[in-house]
Structure 1
Amino acid sequence: MKAEGTVYVLPGLGLSAEAVAPLAAHLSPALAAVGVDLPGHGGAPDADGDGVSALADAVIAAIAQTATGGPWLLCGHSMGGKVAAVVADRVLRGDAPLFGLAGLVLLAPSPATPEPMSDDKREEMLSWAADGPISEAHARRFVADNVGASLDPAEEGAAIAQVQTMSPQAWRRWLQTGSREDVSGGLDIAAVPAVVVAGEEDADLGADAQPGLVARTLPNATIMSLPGAGHLLLFERPAEVAAAIEGLWAAISTGSTRVPESWGCVIASDRTDAETRGILARRHLADDPDAEPKALSRAQLVLLGAVAERLMPRSPDDRFDLARVVDRELAAGRGDGWRPPGLPHDAEAYRLGLDALAGAWPGDTTSRDHLIADIIAGEGFAGSPWDDKTTQRWFEDVRADLAQAWVSHPATSARLGFDGFITAIDSPDPGFSELRADRRAAWEPDTLGTVAAEEDE
């Protein structure tokens, strides 16, 4: 069975990619777990710089080596959580050669702001790597201090061995620089579906502290508290962590439309410019069905969704919420620059029109289709705040906005076979070589046309 998605796991301070093993054992085959060694961990080379940015560079490069173009989750533990936040931000800006980020799972994450840690504790931990690799005694102390209860001997031994293999320089860099760094300025990841998991016995980064620590960067994240757990959640509670990951994955899958992998690969490539890649990355994110709308009331949003359902029949796999896309555009003041005569600005026109339409909206689909046909034909509807012609113009705007919301999603581009967003002019590779509707260049997504060479065969 091929996995539906991938979970890239960034283990915390001292832990290597091998820390993903307990988690992988509890995940369903639908998700492939891939551990990523942070620089200086698990034998990986140290980063080129001291800060979080250098760590993010290395993680992005590692993910890009195995990325399929399909959807993926990013799971960051402790210091890996801080790095994950920066990686997610770069993906959503289009600055990383990646596409398909669907959600974040953060395990007792170090915050984007300086990590809360006493000076005494910091100095003690720095002393462990002052003269070389961390000793077994100090590694054992580190593990014992970071669990809520004793680990299974085999798991404890694995954790201790991983801490001992960590580069002393990387250990010092994190404690002296990375953990103290404030990367929150400009970080824009609030739209990413996210779950934060923390143990109740974790002193600095536990369940009590996390709501305040992530409030600025992930205000909509779900916080999960694990009674009796400490900080090393990948070893202490792999089953609960797996359940949190699969719960987020299920919610994302319900509210999003999958982009074919070949299209994801082209979007991630240097053929797509960074700004366009970032826009498509954000459009790919699933909406929270429980989130409050931004420009409309909830009743107005529900009605707009019902209108969209009649105007834009879609396949069962086409699940992103058109009404919420329009609501976001209205709230941001983005439009086509046109306002039909007799109508107020877009958001107010939507609110007035939908409130009035609610009183005339039938209960059955056949009657709804008749009403829509009447409005399109210029016959208006009872209770409209405008005359029939102005009502017709308002509904033209509604239809155009819904159609644009559908067409602008990267999954729709794939469905329509449109890759005109590939406009990067600094790509070192040749551009389009086939300009006919029934042909594709060799590098284009494989759902487009047929390569001439394939036809000759």
Structure 2
Amino acid sequence: MHNPKPSQGAAALSLFCLHCLGGSAREWQGVERELGAGISLVGIDLPGFGSAADVPGYSVAAMAEHVAAQVRAAAPGRWMLAGHSMGAKVAAVVARQAVAGAAGLEGLCGLVLLAGSPPGPEPMSEERRADMTGWLDGDAAHRATQAREFVAANAVTLTPEARAAAEVDVLRANPAAWRAWLQSGSREDWAERVGVLPLPALILAGAEDGDLGPEAQRRLMAPHVLTAEHHDLPHARHLLPIEAASTVARLITRFAALPPGETQPPRIPPHYRALLESGRTSTALRDALLARVAPEADTRRAWLPAGAYAVLEAALDRVIPQSPHARIDLAARIERSLAEDAGDGWRFADLPADAEAMHQALLSLDALGRLLHQDGFTGLTDAGRDTLLHRVADGQAAAAAPGLFDGSQMALWFQDLRAMAVKHYVGHPATLARMGYSGVASGGDGPRKSGFTRFGIGEREAWEPVALAGEAP
């Protein structure tokens, strides 16, 4: 399914959409009709379903390769990937390939995950899994009954036409693909391989969904994306693209509207700001933390030459990848601390003072790019930058030119750079909130400190923050 609106011309964004178990690309038709201008929706039938019912390859890896091949064939510029339920797990694997620099998958700029099956094993009771496995076996009457019950159980309200189409899609599924997902695919554990994707994500859940509802999305899906915008859709269960097409289209249109390159600073969640402003946090600590989110903290001093500063930005983007939807300007903060000589007071004996070391190392890194990859560091692909930085970290990269660092010095500098980046990133209150860090509330200003009373393993104070994992600060 690929039907761009005639008024769009060449779409600014391609949205590749993957369906749920027993679904097909047709489930996205209602969403497509209401998407904003500039978004071209491309529905993909996964192997064993819809028009691909006869296509083999039911493992998560095989389905991901099927999707990647279709993205490559379309050769999109700027694109997003949407995955519904089963499709969300496949989308996460494809996204990992894209951010790792797989050829033909360049330009991925976001994920839309609806009632997503997580990268790890999908939560489902073994009794229910065993029952569902045989639903598409048996005669036609049995299969039709199971299809009706499946669709009815996964939606609050559907029009008769939508209900009939959803039931037909279930019956179109290859029984072997249906069984393979329930018995194997949904159990596959890709959590470590997917890791944390440096992409913004829109995560939608039906408020009345069971296994893959709001709680499961926050606990199992959100930790795998750098920043996430969450929406729980009321009066909806699992078939979100069908039963809530208008809402889904509106949320996707808004999510996709952030222009490429436009950045936004991270926000402190209301519950964490309330903790900072409570009597449990001292005034001095509160002021210090809130100063870290002031606009001037992300304003560069123009102390480094523009070329060197661009190299610093590019290197930091590989050390701690961030989303433009919630970005801490690490380069500006590091440059400011160096300009103000606000370091930690020590340095490696083989390196000059911090400020001089930074300038010299950035010149060396750019020279290394030209020496080893025939281009300056900022001109390299992400994969090229990663390769070079790995060599730097191992002490195997030296520019071999007067006035530039040798391999050992570059390794020491890169160790310092990573420490500075982590210090500024983790020390930001929005990051502390995502971590659920409660150490900010170790006492207020008065003589009687309101600290901790529960110290057992696994025990928490009622007021302590909970880690937000991948949820947007």
Distance 1:37 1:81 in 2: 13
Three-state SS of the structure 1 residue aligned to 2:158 is: coil
Distance 2:223 2:364 in 1: 31
2:302 maps to a residue whose letter is V
Q: Residues 93-136 of structure 1: CA distance to partner in whole angstroms, max 9, x if unpaired?
A: 23453211111000000011111112222222212122377722
1:116 maps to a residue whose letter is P
Question: Which residues of 2 match residues 399-410 of structure 1 at below 5 A?
Answer: none
**Residue 245 (structure 1) aligned with residue 252 (structure 2):** yes
- Kept in 2, the 8 Å contact 1:304–1:323? The answer is no
**How many residue pairs end up in the alignment?**
330
- Kept in 2, the 8 Å contact 1:201–1:228? The answer is yes
Quote the RMSD (CA, aligned, Å): 4.1
Distance 2:35 2:63 in 1: 27
Partner residue in 2 for 1:61? 69
Q: Residues 385-436 of structure 1: CA distance to partner in whole angstroms, max 9, x if unpaired?
A: xxxx9798468459859999997567x99xxxxx9xxxxxxxxxxxxxxxxx
**Residue 353 (structure 1) aligned with residue 338 (structure 2):** yes
TM-score if structure 2 supplies the norm length? 0.60
Partner residue in 2 for 1:6? 14
2:255 maps to a residue whose letter is L
Partner residue in 2 for 1:289? 265
Q: Identify which of 149, 154, 160 aligns with 1:146.
A: 154
1:3 maps to a residue whose letter is A
Three-state SS of the structure 2 residue aligned to 1:220 is: strand
Distance 1:399 1:97 in 2: 30
- TM-aligned CA deviation for residue 331 of structure 1: 6.3
Distance 1:308 1:124 in 2: 66
Three-state SS of the structure 1 residue aligned to 2:230 is: strand
Three-state SS of the structure 1 residue aligned to 2:10 is: coil
- TM-aligned CA deviation for residue 352 of structure 1: 3.6
From the superposition, tell whether residues 91 and 327 of structure 1 become closer, same or farther in structure 2 (CA, over 3 Å).
closer
Distance 2:119 2:134 in 1: 25
From the superposition, tell whether residues 231 and 408 of structure 1 become closer, same or farther in structure 2 (CA, over 3 Å).
farther
Q: Identify which of 108, 112, 128 aligns with 2:119.
A: 112
Higher mean C-alpha displacement, 2-11 vs 183-192: 183-192
Question: Which residues of 2 match residues 206-285 of structure 1 at below 5 A?
Answer: 206-218=213-225, 220-251=227-258, 253-255=260-262
Three-state SS of the structure 1 residue aligned to 2:223 is: coil
Q: Identify which of 299, 307, 311 aligns with 2:302.
A: 307
Q: Identify which of 193, 202, 211 aligns with 1:204.
A: 211
From the superposition, tell whether residues 28 and 408 of structure 1 become closer, same or farther in structure 2 (CA, over 3 Å).
farther
Unaligned runs of 5+ in 2: 1-8, 269-290, 322-330, 343-351, 370-374, 385-473
- Kept in 2, the 8 Å contact 1:27–1:242? The answer is yes
TM-score if structure 1 supplies the norm length? 0.62
Three-state SS of the structure 1 residue aligned to 2:258 is: helix
- Kept in 2, the 8 Å contact 1:42–1:165? The answer is yes
- Kept in 1, the 8 Å contact 2:60–2:188? The answer is yes
Distance 1:397 1:250 in 2: 40
From the superposition, tell whether residues 408 and 193 of structure 1 become closer, same or farther in structure 2 (CA, over 3 Å).
farther
- Kept in 2, the 8 Å contact 1:40–1:170? The answer is yes
Three-state SS of the structure 1 residue aligned to 2:218 is: helix
Partner residue in 2 for 1:130? 137
1:289 maps to a residue whose letter is P
- Kept in 1, the 8 Å contact 2:96–2:197? The answer is no
Higher mean C-alpha displacement, 159-168 vs 209-218: 209-218
Distance 1:354 1:112 in 2: 43
- Kept in 1, the 8 Å contact 2:199–2:226? The answer is no
1:117 maps to a residue whose letter is M
- Kept in 1, the 8 Å contact 2:15–2:41? The answer is yes
